[in-house]
Structures are given as structure tokens and as C-alpha cells.
Structure 1
């Protein structure tokens, strides 16, 4: 029952569907809300393609459509199935609306080499910033202040004494509540420290500030990790972390330091049967790692995340396709053009 197996060379197939009545769709990105009317035969891929076309995104391989299912779990829309055939929780009534969040599902190993276009960089910046400010990603106090200064640089541009007066940060959400509560500093004192760092960034362009933010954030232990509650053979509660480089097992009290690690390069096979999940190392002398989850659907989500992350892991180790090479060339051309314009305007 519910048996799935994934050898690390597997791929998924897409299916077609028939036309029927229209469905109302609301998609929230990190900085916009989009509305669509789609046919009941529309697949997840067709909806996803419509979203990325609307916002002008080309680096689509990092992203997905997230939703809350009927059981209250957060999950990702399957691209090869009809939208209305998936367990999307929707408003009741004649005008039921299917609600999705367009978010990064997979993270790069290195933002500076993998995130090419400005729109991709901005979407990652907004999502990572939100995760840090809500404490979904733990960030130490000093790093939080430095990140806040890049956040300010990205919004306001270079510090200008005559423009950025004492209260210019009053309405900005800049630090996690945990950091504010841990230290006996007033709001003005925090803002003064952040403003000092802002001044240090001098004439740094906004797009560069976004990338500096991400380069620091990607070194945080919880960055880019999807956590799942699991139990081992001894019924000990643990966390499984899935990220760009592999799988990690964490103790329940510590999501920062993994106790066991399984890099993608050292995994031969992963599979599940019902609530049981098995990781088989390439080293046949090494024991399998077996764990259990609360529901079958959680194992399905874990497997899908593993497949996507491993596919990107392999792609990074191959030459860039022509499309990506062209994107890189265009991005470099645009960067040089901006630098020239800034130089002329000095």
C-alpha cells in the first residue's frame, strides 16, 4: 500500500486533460497577487506556466505553487495532475477560489553563480527575508543587523544625510522579534546601529545589496532546508532536513546541527512504503537509515522534494544549457550597461 521508489535517475511524466468549466484561481507571489480563471481540465503545469509568463520569470526550476490541503498541511501543486484533482482547500460556495502561493521550492547551492536574472534574485530576497524576520530561519543578532542594513540599502539606495533623517527607518520591519527581545536596546538604538551599517555601504547599487543579503543568508544553518517530523526505529522524535546538498537528520531540540548527513552523492536509493521511509547509502556496508512519518502523504512530499533537489544537484554539475548561457550573457550585458550609466551620472 502506498509504495513508491526513487532511484536517483528517475523522472516524472506529464498527463493531458480535457476542457470543462472555469475555476477561479488566486496566486500570491512575494510582492503581488494574481487572479486567473482556468478550465477544470487545466493541469498544474499549465497554471504554473501561466504564472511565470505573467510575472516574466525564466529561471522557473527553483519555484512551485504551494497550497494548504484539506487536512491543513502545506504542500506543493503537482504539475502533471489537474489542478482540481488535487486536495486544495478552497472557499465554499458557488464562487470557490483556489488559493496558491508562488514560492521558491528549491534553493541554489550558491546564489552568486546560480541566480541570474534580477527578478529571480528579488523573489529569493523577499522570501528569505520573510523567513528570517519571522524566525523560520534562525539568524544570530549581529548577522540580523548586518542583513537589515542590506535590506535598507535595497529599499532606499545609498544613504543620503539630507534625505534619510532620524526617523527614516521608523516604519520598517528590520529584525526578528527574538533579537529585539533578547537585548536591552531601544528601537532608536537598533535603528541607529542599522543606519550606521547602511552608511558604510556607501554607493552600493540596490541589486548588489540584494545579492550581498543573499550571500550572507545562504550560510545560515536553516537556510533552504525543508524540515519534516519523523521517528526512528526506537520511536525517538527527530527532524529530517531536505536541502540542495542532501538529507540530514536532526535531534528535535536542535535544527541547526545535523547528527547524521546523507549527501546526494552518497545515496544509492530512497524509497517509501506507506509511512515507512528508507535511505540506502551507496556504501553497501553502511546500514540503511529507516524512519517513519505521521501520514503517507508526508512521505510523498519528502520524495518529491528529494527528486527535485537531486535533479538540480545533477544539473549543476553539467554544462549550462544554451538557454541559461544566453540568460547569463544578457544579465552581464545589462549589468555593464547599468555600471556605465552610473559612471556617466557621477
Structure 2
């Protein structure tokens, strides 16, 4: 035992043990080993702890789920109004379970018109729909860039009377509004002004001359980018203020309905576009909608429509 203790100062210098904790562990290891040959393994373990302390371990990155337990995880869902909520699900939950969770919390009683999308790892298409009947986590692990979903209208309608629930109608209106603003539904100057007036009536109620001036409304996004490029913003604002003031007395729910009805008349309403190639190998765009299937050349020079 005493012979082993003579080696302690040399070992402390060899392993550069400066902290009191490290010195204590190393000393304890030698004392245990010297006291009883049967405790050699324990002594070596103490010394190993000292040697491992300076090392830094890097763990492999995993999916960015907020994991509550082995079978429960939390993911984010971006709503149509761009706000976010979190859903707590089990690893066996289907996409439909998640959709019903979101709709229940929104008070949305007609989930059959909606779906969930995610950003795909693949270059095209970047946005993919969740297969509602399949386990959600498996789909996201295999195909998604990140464990995040977006709520969106999946099935567009031509009969606005099918939207019997106020929350469903409002969410549907928001989706159609963003379709217009982001250019998926194409509008002329007059159509854009009319839609903008319905949007303002739905958001603010009746026009107030002192408040809803062109200067005030210029900070609200109510016009498609393409229309803004083609027309002076001041001209658009003056036109929409006049149109908006003419809607006095129109209820906000009815303004949403009129917006949807007007958008249904426009090109691109309810259309989902996919890239493809024709028989010559040229790139074309397929537009699937309620009216049928449209085939557009990549240059936009030709269009064929199939009902």
C-alpha cells in the first residue's frame, strides 16, 4: 500500500491534475488499489474518470422535435393567418389526428376542406400534402426538411353555401385572399380593387372617412404584387377607398362571402400547379382545378385545357 502511495505525486504531474476534484479522484483510485487487490478495477475506474473529464463529446444531430417522452412529441403548425400553434401527438398519430387537433382548437367544424403540408427534402415539389391516413411522424422523418406543418385549403369549392360554419368560412376566405395576394389567382385592376374593398370591409367593418385614408391603408397588403407593378400605388389606394366607402352597411361575414364569390370567377382559383414534360420532352405546367386540367407551356405561349 505504502509503495503505491509514493507514485501519487508523479501521477498527478503526469496527468496534469490541477483541480482539487481531479486530484481527489486520482488519489482515491490509488489508495483503493493499494488497500486491496480485489478493488483494482474500482481504482482504475476512478483514474479513468479523471482522464475523461477534459474530453468533450459531440452528439449526432437529430430531428428538431420537442420530445416529451419516447412516444410523445410536439410539432409546430403554421395556420392560414401565419400564426403558429403547437400540437402534442403520439408517434403513432396519423395526419388526420393532427388535422382534427388543429381544427378543434380553432373551432373549425368542417375540416374536410383542409389539409396539412410540409416542405419536402426533394427539389420538386417543395410543398407536399400530408397523407392523412398514414402515421404523421414517419412521413416527416422520411420526407420533410423539418418537423413543421402548414394548414391550408386542400379542396376548393364552387358553391359557397357549403361553408356552413363561420370559422370554416373565415379560414377559407383567408386562404383565397392569400392566393390572390401571392399571385396564384390572377386579377385585373378593377377586380383587384373590388377584392381589396371586400377585404377591408371584412377586416375593419364600415369605412370611416377620418381613419381609412389612402395614407392609412398604404401599410396594409391588399393588392397582388403584379397589379402594384402595373399601376401606381396612389391610384390603387384612391380607387379602393372609394369602392370601400360604397360598401357601408355590408356585414363582415357577407364581405368574406362576396370576396370568395368574386375570386371564384378568376383564373387560377383553386388550381394547383405541377411541373411536367410533354411528349417532346419540353417542360410544361399542369394546372389541376375544379374545372379540369390545364396544360401550359413553360414560356406561356400556349395553353390547352381539358374538362
Partner of residue 135, structure 2: 82
The root-mean-square deviation of aligned C-alpha atoms, in Å, is 2.1
| Structure 1 range deviating more: 39-48 or 59-68 | 39-48
Corresponding residue to 2:254 among 202, 205, 208: 208
1:57 CA displacement:
1.4
Which structure has the bigger radius of gyration? 2
What is residue 30 of structure 1 aligned with on the other side?
80
- Specify the alignment match of 2:149 in structure 1: 100
> Given the alignment of the two structures, is residue 151 of structure 1 paired with residue 204 of structure 2, yes or no?
no
**Cα deviation, residue 48, structure 1:** 1.6
Q: 1:173 aligns with which of 200, 207, 221?
A: 221
**Residues 1:126 and 2:174 are matched in the alignment:** yes
Once the two structures are superposed, residues 241-260 of structure 1 have per-residue CA deviations (whole angstroms, 9 ceiling, x without a partner) of 212243332333339x8513
1:243 aligned residue: 289
Report which structure shows greater RCO (CA 8 Å, sep ≥6): 1
Task: Give the C-alpha shift of residue 160 in structure 1.
Answer: 2.6
1:214 CA displacement: 0.8
Matched, 1:44 2:90: no
1:66–1:76 CA contact under 8 A, matched in 2? yes
Offset at residue 61 of structure 1 (A) = 1.4
Q: TM-score, normalised by structure 1?
A: 0.63
Question: After superposition, where does 1:1-346 map in structure 2 within 5 Å?
Answer: 20-31=70-81, 32-72=83-123, 73-86=126-139, 87-91=142-146, 98-111=147-160, 113-165=161-213, 167-183=215-231, 185=232, 187-254=233-300, 258-261=303-306, 263=307
SS of 1:37's partner is strand
Q: Give the aligned length.
A: 234
Counterpart of 2:216 in 1: which secondary structure?
coil
Contact 1:28–1:34 (CA<8 Å) still a contact in 2? yes
Does the 8 A contact of 2:213 with 2:241 survive in 1?
Answer: no
Asked whether the equivalents of residues 40 and 82 of structure 1 are also in contact (C-alpha less than 8 Å), the reply is yes
Q: Deviations over 1:27-81 (max 9, x none)?
A: 1111231102211121112112211111111211111001012225210111121
SS of corresponding position for 2:168: helix
Supply the distance in 2 between the matched residues of 1:189 and 1:238 (Cα, whole angstroms): 36
SS at match of 2:215: coil
Question: Shift in Å at residue 194 of structure 1?
Answer: 0.6
Task: Extract unaligned runs of 5+ from structure 2.
Answer: 1-68
Judging by fraction of residues, say which structure has more helix. 2
2:40 maps to what in 1?
none
Q: Residues 106 and 243 of structure 1 are in contact (CA less than 8 Å); yes or no, is this contact kept in structure 2?
A: no
In the alignment, the residues of structure 2 paired with residue 165 and residue 70 of structure 1 have an alpha-carbon distance, to the nearest angstrom, of: 45
